[in-house]
Amino acid sequence: MTAPASVYLDHQSAKPTDPRVVEAMLPYFGERFGNPASLHAVGDAATAALGEARLRLASALGAASAKEIVFTSGATEAANLGISGYCMRNRRQGTHVIISEVEHISILNIAKYLGKNGFEVSRVPPDQFGRISPEKVRARLKEDTLLVSVGWASNEIGTVQRLGDIAEALAESNAVLHTDAVAVQSQLPIDLESCGAHLVSLSSNDFYGPPGVGALYVRSGVKVGPVMLGGGQEDGLRSGTENLPGIVGMSLAAEIAARETPADGARMSELRDRLVEGVLASIPDAHLNGHPTERLPGNAHFRFDGVEGESLLLSLKDKGISAATGSACSSKTLEPSRTLISCGLLHEEAHGSLEFTFGRWSQASDVDRVLEVLPAIVGRLRELSPIYRPKGPRDEVNT
Amino acid sequence: MKSTQYSEATLDHFRNPRNVGTLDGDDVALGRVGNPTCGDLMDIYIRVKDDTIDDIRFQTFGCGSAVATSSMVTELVKGMPLDEALEVTRADVADALGGLPPIKMHCSNLAADALHEAIENWRSGITPEEIESHGIGAPACMAIEESATASIEHYMGKGVFKSVGDLESLRDQRVLVVDTGEVSAELAISLTEVSGRVVFVTRGKTLPYSTDVVERVARSDVKVLYECELVDVGGEGVVERVRIHDLDEDDEYDLFVDAVIVAE
C-alpha cells in the first residue's frame, strides 16, 4: 500500500514561499549581504535595495507613498506597533479603544494589554455570519475614542468585512481605524489608499513571501510611537537591523500577489464551492460557519453536530490531510475560538469546527480527497459519540 | 509539547477504539462524566456479575485523548472485581497509554472517573434510564433567574420582546426563546423559518409538553439548552448577548444573540 499524497488545506496557518521569491532573495544572503546603516559601498547597495523594496511594496499595495510602509518581523509585530504604538503615543487625546470580537487572537491580546494599562476597551460583537455592523461600532464611539480595530476578514471563518463602511462610521470622530489585513492577503485585491484604514498590519508569508517579515502601513499624518527601541531604523519606528533578504522577498511576493490574486481567487472560489457543496450534501447535520457569500475565496469552515474538532484533525492527519479547528482541545488555553462563540455558537458547537483554507497551488484533487474520506471520518466519530442525535430523517423512519 | 503530541498507544486506541457501544439489561450500570460544553462527554456501561465487571462498553464525544482513555480503561478493567476497579486511577490509565500531553492530563482524562461513577451507580441501584432522563416532567417554569428581571425590563423593545407579531422582523437574527410554556416552544419552532439560529432555554431536563411538540422540537433546528436559566441581558443600547446559568454544572457563560423572546 502506498501512502496517499499529502493534501495541505491549512494555508491560513502557513504558506509555502513562492520559488520566484526564494530565488530573488538568495543574493541578499551572499554578495549583497550589507547593512543599510553602513556608510561604505556594501552598505549603500543595501540601502538602495531597502528603498527599492519599500517602493515596490507600496506600489503593489496602492499606498500613496513608500514612507507609509514600516517593515517589521511579521503581522503580530505590525499590530503591536499599529495599536499599542498608536495608543501609547496619543494617549493624551483619549484612552478608549474599540475592537471587534472576531479579531485574531494577537489583536485580542494586545487589547487586553491596553486594558491593563489604563485604556478602556469596548468590544463589538458580530452578527451570526461574523460581520461587524458600522452601526454597532458607531454606538460605541466616544469623544475620547482613540482607535478602532476591525480585521479586514476573519482568518478563521473567512467572513469579509465592509471596511469602507466601518471607516465611514468613524469619519466624524477622532478615532483612527486599524485593520489586520493578513486574512485577505493573496485572497482579495488590496488597495491601501482607498481601503479606509489608517493603520494596516500585513505579513510577508501571506503573500507567499518568507516567514519572519511583515509591515505596518501608516497613513500619512498618523502618528505612531515605537514599541521596539534601539538604533532608530525604519524612521525610528522599528529599531533593529533590517531583515533585507526577507524584505526583498516580501516586496516581490506582494508584487506577484497584486498581479495573480484575481486569477488565484477565482480558482480558489471554485474549489471552495465544490468542497462546501460536497460536504453539505454528503454529511448530515453539517453546517457552514461564516457568511454564505461574503467570504474569502479560499475559506471553507464547517461544523458537525456531535463531533469534536481535534478528533477530526487527527483522523484527517491519518489520511494525509492537513486542516485546522477552532476546538478548545487543540488550543493552548483550552478555550474554544472566540470568533465562533461571538457568532452565537455554543461551546459544544464550536468544538465541532473544521477549517479548510486553499492556496495558490491547491487543486481539484485536494477537494476530491477530502470528499472521499470526510464522510466516513465524521460517521465513525459520531458512532463513538454519546451526544450525536441525527435530525429529521431518523425520526421520519421511526414514525 | 503540543496538545496533540500523542503516544503511539494513544493513537492506536483513538484509531481502533476497543469496546465501543452501550449495554442493556438489569445487570447494567452507567457512569457519565464531562460536559459537551467543555468538549468532553463520556458514558461507560458496565455489566456486573458476581461483583465483577463482566462486560464493559463506552461512548465518548471528545478529543483524541478522551477517546483513547475511554478505550483503555475498558481494556484495563474488563473481568476485574468492582473493588479492584475502583482503585484504577486516572494516572493508571495515562500510564497504560504511555503518557498523555500535560495539558490533557486533567481535561481529557476522565475515563477512570466515569468508571468509578458507573460502579457507584451500580451499588446505589441507579439505573442507566434514570441517568439518561432523570428529572423527567420537571415543572415548566420561567427559565429566568430573578436577577435577570431588571435587565429584561431595561432592554424591553430593544431586542427583548413579549410577543412576535411578524416573524420577518427577526429574519437572520439570533433569537433566544425563554421557556414560558408550550406556546413558547411552538414559537421557537416557527422562528426557524426565518432564522438559522434559534435557542430555547428551559429549566427542565426534558420538555414537559405534548409528544407532538417535543418531537417537532427535536426534528427542528431549535437548539435547546436544558437545565439552564437566563441570568442577564447585555449590550450597547440593544440586546447583544445574554448570560446563561447552567443549573446542572452550576456554570455561567455568555451567549451572543440579537433578540430575546419572553412570551406571555
Q: What is the DSSP string of B154-175?
A: HTBTTTEES--S-GGGGTT-EE
B61 to A336: CB separation less than 8 angstroms, yes or no: no
> Please, how many CA atoms are within 13 Å of residue A116, restricted to the half-sphere of its CB?
5
B42 to A128: CB separation less than 8 angstroms, yes or no: no
Q: Which of A191, A146, A192 lies closest to A170, judged by CA?
A: A146
Would you name the residues of B annotated as active-site residues? 38, 107
Q: What count of residues does chain A have?
A: 399
pLDDT at residue A246 is higher than 90: yes
Residues A42, A29: Cα–Cα separation, whole Å: 13
Beta-bridged to residue A324, according to DSSP, are A355
Residues B181, B94: Cα–Cα separation, whole Å: 47
Q: Please state whether beta strands A96-100 and B197-201 pair in parallel, antiparallel, or not at all (unpaired).
A: unpaired
pLDDT > 70: percent of chain A: 95
Residues A176, A97: Cα–Cα separation, whole Å: 10
CB-based contacts of A138, cutoff 8 Å, min separation 6: A169
Q: Which of A386, A55, A69, A91 lies closest to A215, judged by CA?
A: A69
pLDDT at A332: 63
Task: Give the A window 287-316 contacts with B, CB below 8 Å.
Answer: 306-311, 313-314
Question: From its phi and psi, is residue A311 left (phi > 0), alpha (psi between -120 and 50) or beta?
Answer: alpha
- How many Å separate Cα B170 from the centre of its chain? 28
Least confident of A88-97, A292-301, A326-335, B191-200: A326-335
Contact B69, B108 (CB under 8 A): yes
A348 to B36: CB separation less than 8 angstroms, yes or no: yes
Residues A69, A53: Cα–Cα separation, whole Å: 10
Q: What is the pLDDT of residues A111-127, one digit of tens each?
A: 999 999 999 999 999 99
pLDDT at residue A236 is higher than 70: yes
Would you name the residues of A annotated as active-site residues? 329
Q: Which of B225, B79, B77, B243 lies closest to B147, judged by CA?
A: B243
Q: What count of residues does chain B have?
A: 264
Q: How confident is the model at residue A1 (pLDDT cuts 50, 70, 90)?
A: very low
Instruction: Show the DSSP H helices in chain A as ranges.
Output: 19-25, 41-60, 75-79, 86-89, 105-116, 134-140, 163-169, 192-195, 244-282, 309-318, 338-342, 347-350, 364-384, 393-398
Longest dimension (CA), chain B: 65
Which of B41, B173, B225 has its CB closest to that of A387? B41
- The model carries a pTM of 0.87
Helix (H, G, I), strand (E, B) or coil at A8: strand
Average pLDDT of chain A to the nearest whole number: 94
Helix (H, G, I), strand (E, B) or coil at B54: strand
B39 to A331: CB separation less than 8 angstroms, yes or no: no
pLDDT at A396: 39
Q: Which of A108, A98, A173 lies closest to A137, judged by CA?
A: A98
Closest-CA residue of B relative to A389 is B218
Instruction: Show the DSSP H helices in A204-243 as ranges.
Output: none
Q: Is the alpha carbon torsion for A64, A65, A67, A73 positive or negative?
A: positive
pLDDT along chain B (264 residues), means of 10: 82 96 95 77 94 96 91 96 95 92 75 94 91 49 75 91 90 93 91 93 87 91 92 94 90 94 86
